[in-house]
């Protein structure tokens, strides 16, 4: 502790101590002069360095985040491209949308889709999406055509029963008429091959030849396959021969409901005794048609007829001319075809006549106080066509030679009947759903194109190279269309030209459509797309026409 | 305002105890009802069915003639609904008649098939529609004593004529329903079957297989080998039964089916392949593999189907590949399987997990392996249980569905999805 005098001055001893200290300090400070500055500068540099590192880390993180966001956006854009390609395939186009040189515009980004046809009717789509620094490519494989119901032959959703002494065979209408393919060495006027019976339940074959049955040597003969459902069996008794497979089917086949065309229903029609009515191509809706004895209707295709009740009298007929297109008859409440009535096809083409049935409700149609069977189908002679009735129990009369195919809730073939499957139906698009089915999906390598290289954003690249982009709905390569359709009033129409030139809102139902990338539509071997339920696709056409740029 | 608990410190506790007691009481009272379906909502009748029942109620009964007319007028869809509704136990119905009317209605329905038979004999019947109604009534309410009546109603008047397809089909369903409902009907059927007409035989055998019960399996098993000409159809029906009945057929039946795989008749060989396939009978694999080279391509086709069904393997139909596969499977079973199964039931978690992995991919013994793996569903370690579920899903043996179902009911949230996935794969 220092000593102070009365005047507040330090005492001599204290002064001496201070002087000594100061002398010593000066001597020590001489060698360290400026060291604090260096230390502080080093500290500042360290802090600054850390700051730079932090900024770099942050910048790098931001870049990574931006890249990640761009990649995610690129995935979504690539998926949008796939959806656009899918829509194109569903509409009968190739699925190509845009090109690397002229990509499709979608939101802030761009995409293009390359489609290639694979074996078995599959289509591969490769969609590349680009936005900012993000690039992403997705590949998908689609199966065209949906459920090929007609290729399954006579298909029952439940049991399929074949009566005693029946004959089941098949032929191929693309190789000529049924008669021209009959094997004369076999009894009973049969081709001796090509039968196809399938049931989700059991196949029951009764075999004893009845009196008056077909003169087959050994009861019931199935010249081909008779396949039950996965849990079903083929049961046969008596003289039954099945020359083909009886192995159960691998999986159940569901029969989707009938989709009725939206047709205005008009008043009842009665065709008097001996009269004939000709309905030219077009779309018609009638709540009740009664064809009196000896009278007839001729339907000229392409035509669609929606009927509530169709009652045919004795010796009456319906004649179908499918030279120019398919004839479709939808019967919703009652179909009565007695054994003396006839359904005649001028072309003998099973693909040309489609009979769609929803007649499954027993009602008192003739107002006698008792309900009536909604479905009696016993036409005489040959019936060429395809019958689809997912809810009806179809019984085919003994006097009918049914040539074509059937899909129904259950099928009973009367004793002594003859049914023939037309294998040409396998090659048609007689499918329940025309929409493609996604088979596989994977992430693919981004194609090496100038626009996908990362030294610039696609937007910059497009601006620098003055590329032309198109909004996604208009970027399909096929811009020219040839279409046959019913307009909203049910009148048949056709159009060939740029897709944008057609007022799609006036298209009622598409009968056939072809697409091309040049104005000469159909020159590259395209075929008309004529899926019976193509009306499903109408929704997609309308969606397209009303779509806004993403 | 002070909280109640400040006045009565035990009051919240008392409230909790009271609520818990009420919950417990509710559960105790309702649980048996829920378990036994007593709590099920009564079924409302279809409007047309209700109309008919109301008419019966208003008129205090109905005679069988009027009932027959009313049902015929309503049509087959409504009559089926009416019969289904009346056949329901009274507590399950939203619309019930009083006991006297109920008894009277059932008695009229019991007499209705005989009335139809009388009308047919008198030539007053509307034919097929009335017969169908009578057969449907017997389907719902018939007993063993009505079997002869069933055949009488469905048979054509002229024995030379074929059966009406609808009547034959309904006869099948009605007979199957009686066989399922009244066990005494089997004895009568066993007695009368040998004397039946060939056309009726098919209908009866299909009805037997539709009944899908152990008795049906025994009945068909007894018929095998009695009439060589009938073996094809009996085998086909046996195949139909084993799809739905989990019990295995008798050893005699199995032996006969195995012998049928070597029958001289290709039709019998075809059907026998399908039966062993549906039975998933691994004992028959060696025989079935040899049928891949059968002279009849249709037999080979069915043999291939059976092999895929039994083993769940996806080899091609090349017989040499199947033979090689079979030899490997046998060798594995004889040399490695026992060690793996010992490790499977051991204490070490890692060894159990490794054993589970080692059991995958052996389709020949999948049922035996699945039974062993199912034991591990009770393992205390959740990860092992989950892995066992996954292995069972791969083995796809129907024999362990009960164990998986039990696990599904008792398992924790973490294990349940694995059990569900395994069950889905097995049922697929």
The CATH number of residue B388's host domain is 1.25.10
Q: Flag whether B113 is in a domain.
A: yes
pLDDT > 90: what percent of chain A?
Answer: 31
The pLDDT value given to residue A408: 92
Q: Do A161 and B169 touch (CB under 8 A)?
A: yes
Count of CB atoms situated within 10 Å of the CB of A256: 13
Least CB–CB distance from A371: residue in B73, B165, B205: B73
The minimum CA-CA distance between B226 and chain A, rounded to whole Å, is 16
The pLDDT value given to residue A228: 93
Least CB–CB distance from A237: residue in B76, B202, B301: B202
The pLDDT value given to residue A494: 83
The minimum CA-CA distance between A410 and chain B, rounded to whole Å, is 11
Contact with chain A for residue B241, Cβ under 8 A: no
pLDDT tens-place values along chain B, 428 residues long: 444 444 566 676 777 777 777 777 766 666 555 555 455 677 888 888 888 888 888 888 778 788 888 888 888 888 888 888 888 888 888 888 788 888 888 888 888 888 888 888 887 777 788 899 899 999 988 888 888 888 888 888 777 777 888 888 899 999 999 999 988 999 988 888 888 877 788 889 999 999 988 899 999 999 998 888 888 889 999 998 988 887 788 999 999 999 999 999 999 999 999 999 999 898 999 999 999 999 999 999 999 999 999 998 888 889 999 999 999 999 999 888 888 888 888 888 888 888 888 888 888 888 888 988 888 888 888 888 888 888 888 888 888 888 888 888 876 777 788 888 888 888 77
Q: Do A415 and B199 touch (CB under 8 A)?
A: no
Least CB–CB distance from B165: residue in A246, A370, A414: A414
Distance CA B99, CA A498 (A): 77
Q: Flag whether B256 is in a domain.
A: no
Residues of A within 8 A of B305 (CB-CB) are 247-248
Contact with chain A for residue B236, Cβ under 8 A: yes
> Of the candidates B17, B15, B20, which has an alpha carbon nearest to the alpha carbon of residue B3?
B15
pLDDT value at A545 more than 50: no
Contact with chain A for residue B313, Cβ under 8 A: no
Question: How many residues comprise chain A?
Answer: 550
Instruction: Look at the block and give the residue holding tokens 């040539």.
Output: A403
Mean pLDDT of all residues in A161-190: 87
The pLDDT value given to residue B296: 92
Q: Flag whether B217 is in a domain.
A: no
Instruction: Give the pLDDT confidence of A453-500 residue by residue, as tens digits.
Output: 877 888 888 988 888 888 888 888 887 888 887 777 767 788 888 887
Nearest residue in A to B205, CA atom: A235
Cβ–Cβ under 8 Å, residues B235 and B257: yes
Identify the residue among B48, B162, B166, B200 best suited for mutation to test binding to A, counting A beta carbons within 10 A and taking the highest: B162
Domain final position from B107, B125, B141: B141
The minimum CA-CA distance between A313 and chain B, rounded to whole Å, is 22
What per-residue string of b and e applies to A213-249 under the rule 16 or more CB within 10 Å gives b? bbebeebbbbbbbbbbbebbbbbbbbbbbbebbbbbb
Domain final position from B90, B122, B141: B141
Q: Do B201 and A237 touch (CB under 8 A)?
A: yes
Of the two residues B401 and A23, the one the predictor is more confident about is B401
Residues of B within 8 A of A161 (CB-CB) are 165, 169
Q: Do B205 and A235 touch (CB under 8 A)?
A: yes
Contacts 24+ apart (CB under 8 A), B400-407: B400/B370, B400/B371, B400/B373, B400/B374, B400/B426, B401/B426, B401/B427, B403/B374, B403/B377, B404/B374, B404/B377, B407/B377
Residues of B within 8 A of A238 (CB-CB) are 198-199, 202
Q: Do A237 and B305 touch (CB under 8 A)?
A: no
* pTM for this entry: 0.71
Contacts of A343 (CB under 8 A, 6+ apart): A317, A318, A320, A337, A353, A379, A383, A385
Contact with chain A for residue B76, Cβ under 8 A: yes
Domain final position from B108, B125, B141: B141
Distance CA B133, CA A397 (A): 22
Cβ–Cβ under 8 Å, residues A385 and A350: yes
Contact with chain A for residue B162, Cβ under 8 A: yes
Q: Which of A135-149, A338-352, A395-409, B173-187 has the lowest mean pLDDT?
A: A135-149
pLDDT value at A525 more than 60: yes
Least CB–CB distance from A237: residue in B233, B243, B302: B233
Pull the structure tokens for residue B219.
């009945």
Q: Do B198 and A161 touch (CB under 8 A)?
A: no
Contacts of B290 (CB under 8 A, 6+ apart): B319
What is the C-alpha radius of gyration for chain B, rounded to an integer number of angstroms?
Answer: 29
Identify the residue among A228, A237, A252 best suited for mutation to test binding to B, counting B beta carbons within 10 A and taking the highest: A237
Contacting B residues, span 258-297, partner chain A, CB-CB under 8 Å: 270, 274
Residues of B within 8 A of A363 (CB-CB) are 75
The minimum CA-CA distance between A469 and chain B, rounded to whole Å, is 48
Mean pLDDT of all residues in A229-239: 85
Instruction: Give the pLDDT confidence of A254-290 residue by residue, as tens digits.
Output: 787 888 887 888 878 898 888 888 888 888 889 999 9
Q: Do A363 and B75 touch (CB under 8 A)?
A: yes
* CA torsion angle B184 B185 B187 B192 (round to 10): 160
The pLDDT value given to residue A319: 93
Residues of A within 8 A of B239 (CB-CB) are 233
Nearest residue in A to B207, CA atom: A235
The pLDDT value given to residue A29: 53
Least CB–CB distance from B162: residue in A210, A370, A395: A210
Of the two residues B175 and A253, the one the predictor is more confident about is B175
Contact with chain A for residue B48, Cβ under 8 A: no
DSSP A321-371: E-SSS-EEEEEEEEEEE-TT-EEEESS--GGGEEEEE-----B-TT-SSS-
Kindly provide the ipTM of the predicted complex, given to two decimals: 0.78
Q: Flag whether B115 is in a domain.
A: yes
Contact with chain A for residue B75, Cβ under 8 A: yes
Identify the residue among B202, B237, B267, B292 best suited for mutation to test binding to A, counting A beta carbons within 10 A and taking the highest: B202
Q: Do B199 and A363 touch (CB under 8 A)?
A: no
Contact with chain A for residue B205, Cβ under 8 A: yes
Pull the structure tokens for residue A90.
């569903």
Least CB–CB distance from B305: residue in A236, A238, A247: A247
Nearest residue in A to B298, CA atom: A245
What's the pLDDT band for A537 if we cut at 50, 70, 90? very low
Q: Flag whether B5 is in a domain.
A: no
Domain count, chain B: 2
Q: Do A237 and B237 touch (CB under 8 A)?
A: no
Q: Flag whether B2 is in a domain.
A: no
Q: Do B75 and A248 touch (CB under 8 A)?
A: no
CA distances for B93 relative to A83, A200, B79, B84, angstroms: 51, 33, 17, 11
Nearest residue in A to B230, CA atom: A237
Instruction: Give the pLDDT confidence of A170-182 residue by residue, as tens digits.
Output: 999 888 888 889 8
Q: Which of A18-27, A195-204, A248-257, B384-393 has the lowest mean pLDDT?
A: A18-27
Instruction: Give the pLDDT confidence of B214-264 residue by residue, as tens digits.
Output: 899 999 999 998 888 888 889 999 998 988 887 788 999 999 999 999 999
List the domain range (segments joined by +) for residue B359. 331-427
Contact with chain A for residue B77, Cβ under 8 A: yes
pLDDT averaged over chain A?
A: 81
Least CB–CB distance from B270: residue in A202, A235, A246: A246
The pLDDT value given to residue A550: 28
Q: What is the largest CA-CA distance in chain B?
A: 98
Q: What is the DSSP letter of A174?
A: G
Residues of A within 8 A of B169 (CB-CB) are 159, 161, 412
CA distances for A345 relative to A154, A321, A354, B96, angstroms: 19, 6, 11, 55
CB pairs under 8 A between A and B: 87
Q: Do B74 and A238 touch (CB under 8 A)?
A: no
Instruction: Point out which residues pair with A330 in neighbouring strands.
Output: A306, A356
Least CB–CB distance from A235: residue in B72, B73, B202: B202
Instruction: Give the pLDDT confidence of A96-113 residue by residue, as tens digits.
Output: 999 998 999 998 899 999
What's the pLDDT band for A114 if we cut at 50, 70, 90? very high
pLDDT value at A544 more than 70: no
Residues of B within 8 A of A206 (CB-CB) are 162-163, 199, 202
Distance CA A152, CA A432 (A): 12
Instruction: Give the pLDDT confidence of A287-329 residue by residue, as tens digits.
Output: 999 999 999 999 997 888 999 999 999 999 999 998 888 888 9
Q: Do A235 and B201 touch (CB under 8 A)?
A: no
- Residue B357 preceded by cis peptide, ω within 30: no
Identify the residue among B75, B210, B297 best suited for mutation to test binding to A, counting A beta carbons within 10 A and taking the highest: B75
Q: Flag whether B282 is in a domain.
A: no
Least CB–CB distance from A412: residue in B160, B165, B201: B165
CA angle B339/B340/B344 to nearest 5° reads 120
The minimum CA-CA distance between A138 and chain B, rounded to whole Å, is 29
- Helix A535-545, helix A35-90: angle, nearest 10: 140
Q: Flag whether B284 is in a domain.
A: no
* CA torsion angle B98 B101 B106 B109 (round to 10): -140
């Amino acid at each position: 502790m220092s000593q102070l005098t009365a005047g507040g001055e330090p005492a001599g001893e204290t002064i001496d101590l201070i002087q000594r200290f100061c002398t010593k300090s000066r001597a020590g400070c001489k060698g360290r002069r400026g060291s604090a500055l260096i230390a502080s500068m080093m500290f500042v540099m360290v802090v600054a360095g850390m700051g730079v590192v932090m900024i770099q880390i942050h910048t790098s993180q931001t870049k990574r985040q931006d890249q990640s966001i761009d990649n995610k956006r690129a995935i979504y854009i690539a998926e949008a491209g796939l959806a656009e390609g899918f829509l194109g395939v569903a509409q009968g186009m190739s699925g190509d949308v845009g090109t690397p040189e002229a990509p499709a515009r979608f939101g802030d980004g761009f995409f293009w889709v390359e489609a290639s046809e694979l074996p078995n009717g599959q289509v591969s789509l490769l969609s590349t999406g680009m936005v900012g620094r993000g690039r992403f490519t997705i590949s998908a494989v689609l199966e065209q055509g949906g459920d090929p119901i007609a290729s399954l032959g006579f298909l029952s959703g439940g049991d399929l029963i074949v009566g005693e002494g029946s004959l089941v065979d098949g032929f191929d209408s693309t190789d000529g008429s049924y008669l021209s393919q009959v094997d004369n060495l076999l009894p009973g006027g049969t081709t001796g091959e090509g039968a196809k019976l399938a049931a989700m339940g059991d196949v029951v074959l009764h075999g004893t030849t009845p009196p008056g049955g077909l003169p087959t040597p050994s009861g019931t003969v199935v010249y081909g396959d008779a396949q039950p459902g996965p849990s079903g069996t083929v049961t046969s008794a008596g003289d039954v021969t099945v020359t083909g497979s009886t192995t159960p089917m691998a999986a159940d086949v569901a029969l989707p409901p009938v989709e009725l065309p939206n047709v205005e229903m008009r008043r009842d029609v009665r065709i008097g005794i001996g009269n004939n009515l000709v309905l030219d191509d077009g779309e018609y809706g009638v709540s009740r048609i009664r064809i009196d004895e000896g009278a007839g209707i001729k339907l000229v295709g392409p035509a669609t007829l929606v009927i509530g009740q169709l009652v045919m009298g004795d010796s009456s007929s319906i004649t179908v001319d499918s030279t120019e297109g398919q004839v479709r008859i939808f019967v919703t409440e009652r179909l009565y075809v007695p054994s003396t009535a006839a359904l005649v096809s001028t072309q003998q083409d099973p693909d040309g006549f489609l009979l769609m049935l929803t007649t499954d409700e027993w009602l008192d149609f003739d107002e006698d106080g008792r309900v009536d069977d909604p479905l009696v189908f016993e036409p005489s002679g040959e019936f060429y066509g395809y019958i689809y009735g997912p809810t009806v129990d179809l019984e085919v009369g003994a006097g009918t030679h049914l040539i074509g195919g059937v899909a129904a809730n259950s099928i009973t073939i009367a004793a002594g009947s003859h049914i023939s499957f037309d294998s040409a139906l396998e090659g048609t698009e007689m499918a329940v759903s025309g929409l493609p089915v996604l088979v596989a999906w994977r992430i693919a390598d981004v194609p090496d194109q100038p626009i996908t290289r990362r030294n610039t954003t696609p937007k910059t690249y497009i601006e620098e190279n003055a590329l032309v982009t198109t909004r996604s709905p208009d970027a399909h390569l096929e811009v020219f269309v040839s279409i046959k359709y019913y307009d909203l009033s049910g009148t048949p129409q056709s159009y060939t030209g740029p897709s944008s030139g057609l007022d799609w809102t006036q298209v009622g139902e598409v009968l056939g459509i072809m697409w091309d990338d040049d104005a000469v539509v159909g020159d590259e071997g395209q075929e008309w797309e004529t899926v019976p339920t193509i009306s499903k696709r109408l929704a997609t056409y309308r969606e397209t026409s009303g779509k806004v740029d993403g | 305002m002070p909280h109640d608990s400040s006045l009565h410190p035990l009051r919240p506790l008392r409230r909790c105890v009271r609520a818990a007691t009420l919950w417990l009481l509710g559960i105790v009272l309702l649980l048996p009802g829920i378990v036994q379906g007593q709590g099920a909502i009564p079924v409302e009748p279809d409007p047309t069915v209700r109309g008919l029942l109301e008419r019966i109620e208003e008129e205090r009964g109905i005679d069988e003639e009027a009932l027959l007319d009313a049902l015929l007028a309503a049509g087959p869809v409504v009559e089926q609904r009416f019969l289904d509704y009346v056949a329901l136990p009274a507590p399950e119905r939203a619309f019930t008649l009083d006991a006297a009317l109920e008894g009277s209605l059932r008695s009229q329905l019991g007499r209705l098939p005989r009335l139809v038979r009388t009308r047919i004999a008198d030539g007053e019947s509307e034919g097929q529609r009335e017969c169908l109604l009578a057969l449907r009534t017997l389907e719902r309410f018939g007993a063993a004593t009505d079997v002869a009546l069933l055949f009488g109603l469905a048979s054509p008047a002229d024995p030379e004529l074929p059966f009406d397809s609808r009547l034959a089909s309904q006869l099948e369903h009605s007979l199957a329903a009686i066989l399922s409902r009244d066990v005494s009907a089997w004895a009568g059927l066993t007695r009368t079957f040998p004397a039946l007409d060939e056309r009726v035989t098919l209908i009866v055998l299909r009805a037997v297989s539709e009944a899908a019960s152990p008795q049906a399996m025994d009945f068909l098993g007894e018929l095998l080998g009695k009439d060589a000409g009938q073996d094809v159809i009996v085998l086909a029906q046996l195949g139909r039964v084993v799809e739905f009945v989990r019990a295995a057929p008798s050893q005699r039946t199995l032996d006969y089916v195995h012998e049928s795989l070597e029958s001289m008749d290709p039709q019998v060989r075809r059907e026998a392949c399908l039966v062993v396939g549906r039975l998933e009978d691994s004992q028959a694999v060696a025989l079935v593999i040899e049928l891949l080279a059968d002279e009849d391509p249709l037999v080979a086709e069915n043999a291939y189907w059976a092999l895929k069904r039994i083993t769940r393997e996806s080899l091609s139909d090349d017989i040499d590949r199947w033979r090689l596969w079979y030899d490997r499977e046998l060798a594995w079973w004889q040399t490695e399987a026992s060690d793996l199964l010992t490790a499977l039931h051991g204490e070490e978690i890692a060894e159990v997990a490794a054993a589970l992995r080692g059991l995958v991919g052996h389709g020949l013994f999948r049922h035996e392996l699945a039974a062993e793996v199912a034991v591990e569903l009770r393992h205390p370690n959740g990860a092992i249980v989950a892995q066992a579920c996954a292995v069972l899903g791969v083995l796809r043996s129907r024999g362990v569905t009960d164990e998986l179902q039990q696990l599904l009911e008792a398992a924790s949230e973490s294990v349940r999805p694995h059990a569900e996935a395994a069950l889905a794969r097995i049922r697929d």
